[in-house]
C-alpha cells in the first residue's frame, strides 16, 4: 500500500529537520550550504626531528578508508620509509564515531586518547593521519598536507624518489592548491552540500578540474604521464590518487559525483592505472574497507547502512579495460 500523501509530507519534513542536525555534526557548512572542512589539529609543520631515520622512533598512524591518511601512506610507501617509521593502522568505530587501536598503543585505546595525551584541544576531532614520536611521547603533525611534505624530506634510501623536486615546485603547488579545493575537498562538498545550489557549484568545479587534468595529461609532450611532466610522480600525483581511486567505489554512488564516469577521461584513466602499478601502491588500497566505512558509517547520507556491491578494483586499474 502506498502511504498517504499527508503522511509522506510529514515524514519528509521530520526527516529533513533531523538530517540538518545530523549533517551539522558530520560536515559543517557555511550560510550558503557549502561544506567547510574543520581545521585539523597538530597542523603546524615541525622541523625534521633530530632522530629522523632512527629505527622505531616514529609511528605513522593511518586508517584504510581515509583518503587524507592514504596520501601519507603513499608517501611512506613510495619513499620506502618502513625501515625507520612504523606503520600503524587504526580501525573505525562507527558507533562511537572515532578511530580505535586494535591493541592499546602508548597506553591509549583510541586515537582521541592519544590526541589528548599529546596536548590536543579536548574539543578537536582526532583524525588520521598522525605522525607520533616515541621519544617525545606526542603527535608531531596531524595535517596531511604538511605531513606528506615532512615525509618527503625524511631520510630515505638513495633510490627513493624525491616527490617535490625544486625545479617542479611551482607547478606542483599550483596543482596541489587546485586539487585540494576542487577535487579532494570537492567530492565532500558535493556529498555534504546542504542544498542544490551548493551541490551544483561543487560538482561543476570538480568536473571542470577533472577536464583540466585530462587536457594536461593528454597534451604532455614528454610522454612521462605525470601531472607536472616529470619522469617520476610528485606530491601533486600523490594527492590526486586517493580521490580518483575511490571515485567509482564511493564518491560517484554516495556523493553524487556521477556526471561522467572516469573511463570517459582516457588520459586520467591511464594515469590512475599507471600510479596504481607503482611498487607498494596496491598494498595501500582496500576497496572493501572504503565501501564498508563510507556506506556503513555516513548515516545521514545512507540511512539503511546497506553496503552495495561495487566494481572489482582490478577493473578500475587496468589501462586497457575502458569500454
| Predicted confidence band of residue 40 (pLDDT cuts 50, 70, 90) | confident
* Rounded distance between C-alpha atoms, residue 243 and residue 285, angstroms: 12
Q: How confident is the model at residue 32 (pLDDT cuts 50, 70, 90)?
A: very high
Spatial contact of 191 and 197, defined as CB atoms under 8 Å apart:
no
Q: Where are the alpha helices (DSSP H) in the chain?
A: 5-26, 67-78, 111-117, 144-153, 169-179, 186-191, 196-218, 235-245, 252-255, 266-276, 287-297, 313-316
Average pLDDT over all residues of the chain: 91
Q: Rounded CA gap, 243 and 66, in Å?
A: 10
Return the half-sphere exposure (C-beta side, CA atoms, 13 A cut-off) of residue 198: 19
- Per DSSP, 262 falls in state G
Could you give the CA distance from residue 37 to residue 26 in angstroms, rounded to a whole number? Answer: 10
In the chain, what are the domain boundaries? 58-153, 166-316
Bridge partners (DSSP) of residue 139 are: 132
Task: Report the CATH architecture of 58-153.
Answer: 3-Layer(aba) Sandwich (3.40)
- Could you give the C-alpha distances from 202 to 41, 247, 252, in angstroms and in order? 25, 15, 14
Write down the pLDDT at residue 322: 56
- Residue 94 to residue 215: CA distance in whole angstroms: 40
Q: How many Å apart are CA 308 and CA 286, to the nearest integer?
A: 16
**Rounded to whole angstroms, how far apart are CA atoms 290 and 180?**
20
Q: Is the pLDDT of residue 151 over 60?
A: yes
Indicate whether 253 pLDDT > 80: yes
Residue with cell 555516513: 298
79 phi and psi, to 5 degrees? -95, 5
215 near 255, Cβ under 8 Å? no
Q: Is the pLDDT of residue 191 over 90?
A: yes
pTM higher than 0.85: yes
CA–CA separation, 299 and 18 (whole Å): 11
- Better-predicted residue by pLDDT, 130 or 8: 130
pLDDT value of position 320: 66
Q: CA dihedral in degrees (102, 108, 114, 119; nearest 10)?
A: 180
- Residue pLDDT, tens place only, 159-174: 999 999 999 999 999 9
pLDDT digits (tens, 9 = 90+) for 60-74: 999 999 999 999 999
Q: Say which residue the cell 597538530 belongs to.
A: 42
Q: For 196-252, what is each residue's pLDDT tens digit?
A: 999 999 999 999 999 999 999 999 866 678 999 778 999 999 999 999 999 999 999
Determine the pLDDT at residue 180: 97
Q: Is the pLDDT of residue 143 over 60?
A: yes
The total of other beta-carbon atoms located within 10 Å of residue 117's CB is: 14
Which has the closest alpha carbon to 40: 117, 147, 114?
Answer: 147
Q: What percent of the chain has pLDDT over 90?
A: 74
Nearest to 67 by CA among 196, 188, 177, 154: 188
pLDDT band of residue 17 (cuts 50, 70, 90) is low
Which pLDDT tens digit goes with each residue over 267-319?
A: 999 999 999 999 999 999 999 999 999 998 888 888 889 999 999 999 999 87
Cell 581511486 locates to 245
Average pLDDT score over residue span 30-59 = 89
User: CB of 42 within 8 A of CB of 143?
Assistant: yes
Provide the pLDDT for residue 1: 57
Which set of grid coordinates corresponds to residue 136?
A: 617525545
State the pLDDT at residue 18.
Answer: 62
pLDDT in the model for residue 96 = 82
CATH class of 166-316: mainly alpha
Q: How far apart are CA 131 and CA 240, in angstroms?
A: 21
Backbone angles phi, psi at 29, to 5 degrees: -135, 160
Amino acid at each position: 500500500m502506498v502511504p498517504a500523501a499527508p503522511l509522506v509530507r510529514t515524514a519528509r519534513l521530520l526527516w529533513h529537520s533531523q538530517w540538518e542536525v545530523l549533517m551539522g555534526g558530520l560536515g559543517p557548512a557555511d550560510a550558503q550550504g557549502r561544506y567547510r572542512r574543520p581545521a585539523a589539529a597538530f597542523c603546524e609543520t615541525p622541523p625534521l626531528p633530530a632522530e629522523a631515520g632512527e629505527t622505531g622512533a616514529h609511528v605513522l598512524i593511518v586508517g584504510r578508508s581515509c583518503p587524507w591518511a592514504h596520501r601519507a601512506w603513499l608517501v611512506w610507501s613510495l619513499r620506502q620509509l618502513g625501515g625507520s617509521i612504523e606503520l600503524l593502522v587504526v580501525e573505525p568505530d562507527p558507533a562511537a564515531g572515532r578511530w580505535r587501536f586494535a591493541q592499546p598503543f602508548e597506553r591509549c585505546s583510541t586515537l582521541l586518547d592519544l590526541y589528548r595525551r599529546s596536548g590536543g584541544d579536548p574539543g578537536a576531532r582526532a583524525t588520521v593521519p598522525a605522525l607520533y614520536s616515541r621519544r617525545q611521547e606526542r603527535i608531531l603533525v596531524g595535517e596531511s598536507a604538511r605531513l606528506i611534505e615532512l615525509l618527503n624530506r625524511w631520510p630515505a634510501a638513495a633510490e627513493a624518489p624525491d616527490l617535490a623536486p625544486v625545479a617542479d615546485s611551482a607547478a606542483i603547488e599550483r596543482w596541489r592548491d587546485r586539487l585540494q579545493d576542487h577535487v579532494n575537498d570537492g567530492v565532500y562538498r558535493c556529498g555534504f552540500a546542504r542544498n542544490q545550489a551548493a551541490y551544483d557549484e561543487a560538482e561543476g568545479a570538480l568536473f571542470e578540474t577533472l577536464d583540466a587534468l585530462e587536457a594536461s595529461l593528454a597534451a604532455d609532450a614528454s610522454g612521462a604521464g605525470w601531472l607536472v611532466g616529470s619522469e617520476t610522480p610528485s606530491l601533486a600525483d600523490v594527492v590526486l590518487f586517493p580521490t580518483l581511486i575511490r571515485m567509482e567505489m564511493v564518491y560517484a554512488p554516495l556523493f553524487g559525483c556521477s556526471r561522467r564516469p572516469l573511463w570517459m577521461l582516457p588520459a586520467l584513466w591511464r594515469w590512475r592505472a599507471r600510479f596504481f602499478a607503482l611498487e607498494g601502491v596496491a598494498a595501500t588500497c582496500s576497496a572493501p574497507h572504503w565501501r564498508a566505512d563510507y556506506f556503513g558509517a555516513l548515516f545521514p547520507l545512507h540511512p539503511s547502512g546497506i553496503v552495495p556491491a561495487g566494481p572489482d578494483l582490478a577493473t578500475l586499474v587496468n589501462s586497457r579495460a575502458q569500454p
